Amino acid sequence: MYVTNHLRGRSAVVARLSAICGAPQPSGPSASATRRMRAGAPAAGEPVPTSGSAGTQRPDSLMAASGRQAAGGVEEAAEEPRILEPGAAPFGNFPHYSRFHPPEQRLRLLPPELLRRLFPPSSSETRPILGLDVGCNSGDLSVALYKHFLSLRDGETCSDASRELHLLCCDIDPVLVERAEKECPFPDALTFITLDFMNQRTRKVLLNSFLSQFGRSVFDIGFCMSVTMWIHLNHGDHGLWEFLAHLSSLCRYLLVEPQPWKCYRAAARRLRKLGLHDFDHFRSLAIRGDMANQIVQILTQDHGMELVCCFGNTSWDRSLLLFRAKQTTETHPIPELLTEEGKERNRLRFWRQ
Ligand SMILES: C[S@@+](CC[C@H](N)C(=O)[O-])C[C@H]1O[C@@H](n2cnc3c(N)ncnc32)[C@H](O)[C@@H]1O
């Protein structure tokens, strides 16, 4: 049903996105995902993340093993022949992801004043901005986003304590999370947790526990950078749809960097080259093709969000799409400039002002 709805009206979204951007430019891992991980892991008998069960087994060793085995590399490896042959990283849990997809590529497209514009300080409101970074890997992008939005230079700490930004950063891979925690220069502002975002029960407990410290029920902004493909490959169309549903219900704004379809093919090819099982869902995915538009379609038609703007494309042809929830439990005035259709088209001029 969701697939049918989502495929219907696709052309309208293509047209809309083109107008705005100029050019459109498990249940946990199932048995075979587990086999894939085991094949990539030197140690046997390791726990597997499961979805929908309380106390999800932490995929520590599996993830760690996957990470250890990977010499480095990303899903684009096939498009980037100079990159070392990557190992099995079935969730995109590459140990040195930021070396291949550096944060700077994304940051240069994002106006540093973005959060200040979205959440202008008011005299009556000094509450911090709360962000959720899903699939944070080892935290390089999370830290870079934090510094970027607070305009901090290297070594500088936050001077404006009244407008704090707090990021909850989660990843399915505990080894990456541990590294992120160790290396984070802003431990008071960035919290790293191991979480399989597809595990409903754990997600609810951990996210609510964070939000409740601030007396809040939703995040101001969610970051979902280069994660959608891994959810899609491991959980199928329905998993992707659910993932986006959860994110949109949890965040007032959502910044998404979808992987294009060619990355799916590269990821599947890489597994085959390693002699591992294909992703369970790769061949049966009905949501395919122009993934940026597909995700726009799902979020806007099914999950009550609207596309605010597209910040352009990275050198890897990934667009950065900003969405806004039309309704959230916590309301906040939306800056007028961001909602006017005509000004959306002129977004670059607007952001450069
Ligand atoms: C390709 S990396 C992207 C890292 C970072 N967001 C960036 O853009 O630099 C994808 C990350 O998503 C994580 N991931 C995949 N599935 C996940 C899930 N179900 N829950 C939480 N994290 C997940 C992986 O472990 C991996 O670190």
Cα-based distances in Å from 285 to 59, 144, 207, 229? 25, 33, 29, 11
Any idea what the CATH number is for the domain that residue 76 is in?
A: 3.40.50.150
Closest CA to 62 of 22, 91, 27: 91
- Residue closest by Cα to atom 16 of ligand 1: 91
Q: Give the number of C-alpha atoms closer than 13 A to the C-alpha of residue 149, restricted to the C-beta side.
A: 24
- The amino acid at residue 321 is L
As for how many domains the chain has, the answer is: 1
CB neighbourhood size of 352 (10 A): 7
Q: How far is the CA of 322 from the centre of ligand 1 (A)?
A: 19
- Predicted structure pTM score: 0.76
Ligand 1 near 297 CB (within 6 A): no
Domain residues for 252?
Answer: 2-350
CA of 35 to the centre of ligand 1 (A): 20
Helix, strand, coil shares, percent, the chain, to 5 = 45, 15, 40
The per-residue pLDDT string of the chain (353 residues; one tens digit each, 9 = 90 and over) reads 444 444 444 444 333 333 333 322 233 333 333 333 323 222 222 222 222 222 223 333 334 334 333 323 344 433 333 334 456 788 999 998 988 889 998 999 999 999 989 998 775 567 899 999 999 999 999 999 999 999 887 777 665 544 589 999 999 999 999 999 999 999 999 999 999 999 999 999 999 999 999 999 999 999 999 999 999 999 999 999 999 999 999 999 999 999 999 999 999 998 888 888 889 899 999 999 999 999 999 999 999 999 999 998 877 778 999 999 997 655 444 444 333 333 343 343 333 33
Q: Is the CB of 197 under 6 A from ligand 1?
A: yes
CA distance 131 to 143: 12
SS3 state of residue 221:
strand
How many Cα atoms occupy the beta-carbon half-sphere of 315 within 13 Å?
10
Q: Whose CA is nearest to atom 8 of ligand 1?
A: 225
